[in-house]
Structure 1
């Protein structure tokens, strides 16, 4: 839709188009004419959206801080779920995973060879040597946030510790690759190169995603790929980077009994870190971590 320069901007800011997204749209149109994939308008968040997402992220970060303070050997993953639920609802928010497409709990807790989507249970007790991903997502006033952290329980092997550390480095490399008017593919390439340089593999069945007004939005963020490929990264885009790195091969299996829990096919260890980011005119801002 073509707007008059003096019309109100399509983003909902209330500003005149010429004072808001006119130059932005002209830049995207030029890039699209050159054959590049550009984001649609519904991917771009306005200032009101961004503030709402950040308030949601404050709670999400608080949940992960609480987990970090309490997670320990001997704790059940159901206890982690209870911590997450009670903190979230006491702050006026909703745990996004709860009943999402049938997921029965408020948080994903994935241990050792579980790649993602581990379902909390009274029967799963954390043991010394475990590496644990706790993936938290929050809805506040209709705005979504999403992040995860790894935790090492007790006496962790050097092999496991290295995987956790390198996976965090993969996340950091991916974030460093985010440049306004750069390419989505730069993120995956940076992650893949770092993981494979350490002899690890990058899970391909899952990736990062747009987030904010819904739990999962466009674009899909691949954690492998080629530089200079994929969608243009425009200011106002909000998405997660959440590399899942396996010590062995990248193939996975989904538990046939619960249709959620994803395991490494070869039984090797897996680790994941996730941050939620905002692309800005100057670079990138980490919103949830």
Structure 2
């Protein structure tokens, strides 16, 4: 069922979005050649404990194992949902950091929770209802190659072209076609197997938001919908594979690079309003 969000729900998600955006801004100074990828996970955990936010990805059900971390850290040919790990980032790497955070109630002290105890964390993350924010951002480690820079530029522009189509009266296909046409015009592949989605009261709600489609087709968009658009754009084929050891990490089928940017936004009568904004839109 698709729910239209109340002003109170949107306000809560906006507050959560501001916090999540501040984490992405902080990561700009942390992500550099020579750091351990695990430092990203530690930074997010620290901020959540300090400011009483739940990392809602911990405990998400998986076919092989439940997701055990606060972030997804997908490197180079990893498309999405890869685990943060002890691995040194090198100059020229492309890393995508994705997270879903929830603004905890005053009667829950997140600083007291053991984020390493996945089963215990599920008690809180599965039952969470409130201000949710979901955003992924791509970071070039050190100096990017032209290949990495061009892929990042096209992926970010694809994101904003999709958001621009999220207007009352438009259809879901208008979002997907805007992304697909722009990315494919630059010779890139648009991932089909993973899509955007509604947000609230939980992190993954109807409707699904494909990043490909036919203009003028699909669900009619309405005021009060809160959605994510999160295009995953590959330098080669759009096809991806899954790590069957964990059931989580997805990689490009041909070993090419993949990039992703994601914003969460609400559709208003005056157009889309981004809830996870990091600053000047189109730049951050």
2:158 corresponds to? 170
User: 1 CA distance for matches of 2:24 and 2:143?
Assistant: 22
Contact 1:171 1:242 (C-alpha < 8 Å) held by counterparts: yes
- Give the secondary structure class of the aligned counterpart of 2:197: strand
Cα contact 1:63–1:88 (8 A) shared by 2: no
Equivalent position to 2:12, from 46, 52, 66: 52
Alignment of 1:22-171 (within 5 A): 42-101=2-61, 102-122=66-86, 124-141=87-104, 142-171=130-159
Under a length normalisation based on structure 2, what TM-score does the superposition of the two structures give? 0.85
C-alpha RMSD of matched pairs (Å)? 1.1
Shift of 1:89: 2.1
TM-score (norm 1): 0.84
Higher relative contact order (Cα pairs below 8 Å, separated by 6+ residues):
2
For structure 2, which runs of at least 5 residues remain unmatched after alignment?
A: 105-129, 278-284
Per-residue deviation, residues 108-153 of structure 1 (Å, max 9, x unmatched): 111110000110011x211001011111210114321101111101
When Rg is computed on C-alpha atoms for both structures, the one with the higher figure is 1
Structure 1 residue aligned with 2:127: none
| Residue aligning to 2:280 | none
SS at match of 1:89: helix
Aligned-residue offset at 1:75: 1.3
| Structure 1 contact 109–118 (Cα < 8 Å) conserved | yes
Query: Is the counterpart of residue 188 in structure 1 residue 148 in structure 2?
Result: no
Aligned length: 248
SS in 2 for 1:52: helix
Contact 1:63 1:136 survives alignment (8 Å): no
Contact 1:145 1:212 (C-alpha < 8 Å) held by counterparts: no
Give the Å deviation of 1:67.
Answer: 1.2
Alignment of 1:5-24 (within 5 A): none
3-state DSSP of counterpart to 1:220? strand
The runs of 5 or more residues in structure 1 that have no matched partner are 1-39
Structure 2 Cα separation of the partners of residues 89 and 279 of structure 1: 31
2:118 corresponds to which residue? none
